[in-house]
Amino acid sequence: MKKILARVCTVMLMFTVFLSGCSGTAKVKNSEVPKETSSPAKTSKLSESPITYKWLISENPNYPCKNDSPIFKYYEEKTNVKIDFVSIPNANYTEKYNILLSSNDVTDISYPKKANVYGPKGTFLKLNDLIEKYAENGKKYILSNKAKPFLLSSDGGIYVFQTIYEDKGDRLTYAWSYRQDILNKLGLKEPTTPDEWYNVLKKVKEAYPNMIPLSYEKSAWRWDNIAGSFNVTVGMILNPTTDKFEFSPGTDNSKAAIEWFGKLYKEKLLDAEYFVNAKKDFDQKITSGKLFAWCEWATDSSNYTKNIRAGGQNDAVVNVAVPFKTSYGANLLSTATYVASDNVAALSPKIKNPETAIKFLDYIGFSKEGVAALNFGVPGVHWNMESYGPDYTDTELDKVIKGESGPWQLGYNNRMPRISLKAIFPEAGKKKDVKDDEYQKLLKAYKQKLEPYLRDTDPPAVGAFMSNEQNDRSTEILTNCTTISEEYRSKFITGNEPLSNWTKFTDQLKKNNVAELEKIYNDAYVKYKAAIK
């Protein structure tokens, strides 16, 4: 199943910075290099003559950026492109960057903020044609119909270079977990509807009066995870029946979800502390055996089994539940979706040889050689190939570029770089620890069980088709309406506000211009659909 994520090259610069301090100790002696080594294919120079670009970055004071970083010196040797980093401490970056923006004096390359706003004004270079012509490796990802809408500005231009790729890996996020052993003792089956869940939670409370039937961690109190089966979320949602955007908290779906959770709360089937559970306290409730069911990361469930048993309940087994069915929407799990998170780089309109800059960004973000160095360091200096098993270098790097696996996994394959991960991340220089077979089998079973319920469609990226003014206005209205909805949702569930006052809530949304918000989204959605035809 295809899910899409964004990958940010600049985040990986932290590897570069750290490697620059480790290169002296990480070097492997020639005698240690196996005869059968493999490394990504060599590339030709990107520029006939040496060229230097100034790259403005936001710097973490704990990891100062060095222009003599061995990785970027390696890149310079390979490509004829030198990067001269101009760093600004994180604390001052926004202020100083805004000054550069206002004076239209950004560096050749910069870690941009508001590029989609300032790009159309001429502050940044439009990259559409440059990416098409010179991003040989990455253009198929960046300019795909799925990716492009997330990058477009109001004028149809792309002003940032992103290392975007398709993520085909497992993306299990929040799911309902429950104590399978207790369900078995009560002779019950896994519930699949709201009514069945209500009956199960009620019987658990009767049989185990000191157990909390259902709870959530405060940080996990996201309405789309908790009430996803009612097809609701915390903000805007696309109604599949009308094909129009609505403010989800004000819909009938949301009212039905609130009514159901309010019923649980009233009958003490929902944790009275559901809205204030800190992570530490929430985990303690689970591992001490105080909870029957909860909403958490599905992949954590096998560890909860282990931790509950460690607390003395030796027969404990945590299972994950498939999303229950309602009449309000598909029973799908919320998963990671296609996003264009942080921007990687924007180019100044004054930059010399912009085509070479695009080739360089493409090289470090999408070529096997560039990706390997960015993630692991210089071949023969920071890593060497272990000489056991088949060589999966090419195929594994392909997976990293496509988003089918993460760079942290490369050190675990049968014959992959053992980056002197021995000097940087010692634990990654070893084979992946194999946990108890029982818990691995549980995790595998969870994945197989939930796979049919993973959401396989991405939300339309309509924000890219709003003007700057519309973006600002929609954000303002959405923030106000979300604050109102969260306040009323809590009151409705706890009974501090009777649900009969639902129109009082929706009237507040109307007064705060929810209709204008929905119009902005739907006007942009029309433009979005036209752009991806």
Number of continuous H segments (helices) and E segments (strands) in the chain: 20, 12
Distance CA 287, CA 303 (A): 10
Give 205-221 pLDDT, tens digit per residue.
999 999 999 998 876 66
The CATH number, out of the four listed (3.40.190.10, 3.20.20.70, 3.90.180.10, 3.30.830.10), of the domain defined by the range 174-334+436-453: 3.40.190.10
Least confident of 83-92, 322-331, 425-434, 464-473: 425-434
| Residue 459 burial (CB count, 10 A) | 14
Q: Which of 81, 73, 75, 72 lies closest to 51 in space, CA to CA? A: 81
Domains 3-169+340-424 and 174-334+436-453 share a fold: yes
The separation between CA 22 and the C-alpha centre of its own chain, rounded to angstroms, equals: 29
Least confident of 32-46, 371-385, 421-435, 482-496: 421-435
For domain 3-169+340-424, the question of CATH label 3.40.50.150 is answered with no
Sheet holding 318-321, edge to edge: 212-216, 291-297, 174-179, 318-321
| Residue 90 burial (CB count, 10 A) | 12
Give 42-66 pLDDT, tens digit per residue.
556 899 999 999 998 888 777 677 7
DSSP, res 67: T
Percent of the chain with pLDDT over 70: 77
Q: Report whether pLDDT(198) > 90.
A: yes
Given a contact cutoff of 8 angstroms between Cβ atoms, the answer to whether 416 and 386 are in contact is: yes
Distance CA 268, CA 262 (A): 10
DSSP, res 411: G
Q: Which of 333, 298, 321 lies closest to 455 in space, CA to CA? A: 333
Give mean pLDDT, residues 496-518: 97
Q: Which residues contact 505 (CB under 8 A, 6 or more apart)?
A: 250, 484, 485, 488, 492, 497
Q: Which residues contact 8 (CB under 8 A, 6 or more apart)?
A: 162, 163, 341, 342, 343, 344
Q: Which of 129, 105, 101 lies closest to 115 in space, CA to CA? A: 101
* Unique residue bearing structure tokens 């670009």: 53
Q: 318-344: buried (b, 16+ CB within 10 Å) or exposed (e) per residue?
A: bbbbbbbebebbebbbbbbebebebbb
Q: 124-142: buried (b, 16+ CB within 10 Å) or exposed (e) per residue?
A: bbbbbebbeebbebbbebb
Given a contact cutoff of 8 angstroms between Cβ atoms, the answer to whether 129 and 365 are in contact is: no
Q: What is the pLDDT of residue 431?
A: 41
Of the ranges 150-154, 358-362, 528-532, the best mean pLDDT one: 358-362
**What are the tokens at 28?**
């492997």
Q: What is the pLDDT of residue 531?
A: 74
- Break the chain into its structural domains and give their ranges: 3-169+340-424, 174-334+436-453, 462-531
Distance CA 196, CA 201 (A): 9
Give 272-314 pLDDT, tens digit per residue.
988 888 888 888 999 999 999 998 888 788 889 999 999 899 9
Q: What's the half-sphere exposure (Cβ side, CA atoms, 13 Å) at 413?
A: 21
Q: Where does residue 29 rank: exposed (0-12), middle (13-18), buried (19+ CB within 10 A)?
A: exposed
The C-alpha R_g of the chain, in whole angstroms, comes to 26
Q: Which residues contact 303 (CB under 8 A, 6 or more apart)?
A: 439
pTM tops 0.95: no
CA distances to 24, 416, 495 from 423, in Å = 10, 17, 57
Given a contact cutoff of 8 angstroms between Cβ atoms, the answer to whether 404 and 264 are in contact is: no
DSSP, res 124: S
Q: What is the pLDDT of residue 206?
A: 97
Residue 263: enclosing H or E segment and its boundaries?
Answer: helix 252-266
Distance CA 77, CA 81 (A): 8
Q: Report whether pLDDT(84) > 90.
A: yes
Show the 3-state SS of 6-48: EECHHHHHHHHHHHHHHHHHHCCCHHHCCCCCCCCCCCCCCCC
Phi, psi (deg, nearest 5) at residue 109: -125, 145
* Unique residue bearing structure tokens 């560039």: 370
Q: What is the pLDDT of residue 391?
A: 59
| Residue 496 burial (CB count, 10 A) | 9
Strands 346-347 and 109-110, bridge-based pairing: antiparallel
Q: Which of 275, 269, 304 lies closest to 216 in space, CA to CA? A: 275
DSSP, res 383: B
Q: What is the pLDDT of residue 447?
A: 84
Helices 354-366 + 368-376 axis angle, to 10:
70
Q: Report whether pLDDT(402) > 80.
A: no
DSSP string, 196-253: HHHHHHHHHHHH-TTSEEEEE-GGG--HHHHSGGGT--SSEEEETTTTEEEEGGGSHH
